């Protein structure tokens, strides 16, 4: 890993004030609003069930949908599966799949360099969350978006990203409201909307920060990527990040049967019912992909 002092230029990017305000509100809602509501009203089983359900649905929307399907084409699937994953990923407040995946493809192509959107050479906080508070001069670079723009479903999700996102935030409010009126709606929105969004965002951020700073490098030392089974526990298997950087198109991030990688289990399960095919994987000891 190159030393920070040698390889990182001073950051001259402009602040993205809209993103700063939005993420400050989410952080305040999660760290202050949630416990205050719990003190005065408490959360119902419906709130907790929606929280768990939406954590899993939106987390897998990012890992299976945005990451392994759209960014890396590690498997193929019917249009309805792709659409469902794109809607679920959109509810995670991590931008449209077009923007997310093009930045991620650039992360692999320019890892640890100036063009790396979440360059870990700038330290933990920049790679974890700081990068979203600045405008990205390389966003929508043709080299990384041209393939994605040819996918009509990706472009559909990009066009309707905001309404889809609002639908995902309205869902817990409506479910809570139907169960227990206005206070039920507010509680479910706080826990399964705001709190869940905060946690899924931070779990994704851990890949860019922790998995580029701490952990083993058993598969490649050509960049700063690391394996962390601990991070895999909260990111649906994405913590085996060194393996993933070595074999980007493999539908598995944890290749061993005992690796905790629910994303690969979902893709494998979908393939067993005919809802996914052409699963890319590397044979042990080889670098060539087989389907």
Binding site for Zn ion (CB under 5 A): 225
Report, in Å, the least distance between residue 268 CB and Zn ion: 18
Minimum CB distance to Zn ion smaller for 192 or for 280: 280
Report, in Å, the least distance between residue 206 CB and Zn ion: 11
Is residue 224 within 8 A of residue 232, CB to CB? The reply is: no
Dist. CA 133–CA 21, nearest whole Å = 9
Minimum CB distance to Zn ion smaller for 68 or for 158: 68
Minimum CB distance to Zn ion smaller for 119 or for 225: 225
Q: Tokens at residue 91, please?
A: 């509810």
> Helix/strand/coil (H, E, C) string of 238-251?
CCEHHHHHHCCCCC
Report, in Å, the least distance between residue 71 CB and Zn ion: 6
Minimum CB distance to Zn ion smaller for 225 or for 235: 225
For Zn ion, which residue has the nearest CB? Answer: 225
Q: Considering Cα of 200, then 204, then 206, then 211, what sign does the dihedral take?
A: positive
Minimum CB distance to Zn ion smaller for 196 or for 226: 226
Using CA atoms, how far residue 190 sits from 36, 182, 185, 278, in Å, is 11, 12, 9, 40
Report, in Å, the least distance between residue 180 CB and Zn ion: 41
Report, in Å, the least distance between residue 37 CB and Zn ion: 36
Dist. CA 43–CA 40, nearest whole Å = 10
118's CB contacts (< 8 A; 6+ apart) are: 107, 126, 127, 131, 208, 209, 212
């Amino acid at each position: 890993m190159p030393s920070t002092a040698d390889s990182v230029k001073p950051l001259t990017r402009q602040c993205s004030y809209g993103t700063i305000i939005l993420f400050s509100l989410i952080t305040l809602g999660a760290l202050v609003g949630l416990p205050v509501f719990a003190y005065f009203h408490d959360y119902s089983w419906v709130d907790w069930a929606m929280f768990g359900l939406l954590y899993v649905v939106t987390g897998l929307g990012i890992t299976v949908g945005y990451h392994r399907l759209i960014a890396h084409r590690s498997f193929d699937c019917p249009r309805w599966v792709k659409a469902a994953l794109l809607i679920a990923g959109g509810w995670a407040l991590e931008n449209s799949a077009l923007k997310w995946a093009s930045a991620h493809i650039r992360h692999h192509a320019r890892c640890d360099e100036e063009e790396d959107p979440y360059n870990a050479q700038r330290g933990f906080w920049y790679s974890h969350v700081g990068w979203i508070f600045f405008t990205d001069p390389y966003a929508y670079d043709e080299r990384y978006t041209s393939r994605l723009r040819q996918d009509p479903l990706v472009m559909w999700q990009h066009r309707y990203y905001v309404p889809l996102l609002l639908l995902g935030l309205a869902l817990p409010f409506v479910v809570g409201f139907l169960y227990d009126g206005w206070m039920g709606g507010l509680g479910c929105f706080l826990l399964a909307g705001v709190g869940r969004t905060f946690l899924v965002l931070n779990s994704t951020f851990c890949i860019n920060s922790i998995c580029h700073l701490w952990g083993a490098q058993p598969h490649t030392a050509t960049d700063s990527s690391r394996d962390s089974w601990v991070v895999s526990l909260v990111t649906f298997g994405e913590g085996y990040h060194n393996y993933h950087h070595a074999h980007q198109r493999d539908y598995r991030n944890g290749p061993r049967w005992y690796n905790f990688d629910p994303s690969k289990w979902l893709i494998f399960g979908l393939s067993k019912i005919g809802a996914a095919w052409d699963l890319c994987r590397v044979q042990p000891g080889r670098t060539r992909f087989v389907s």
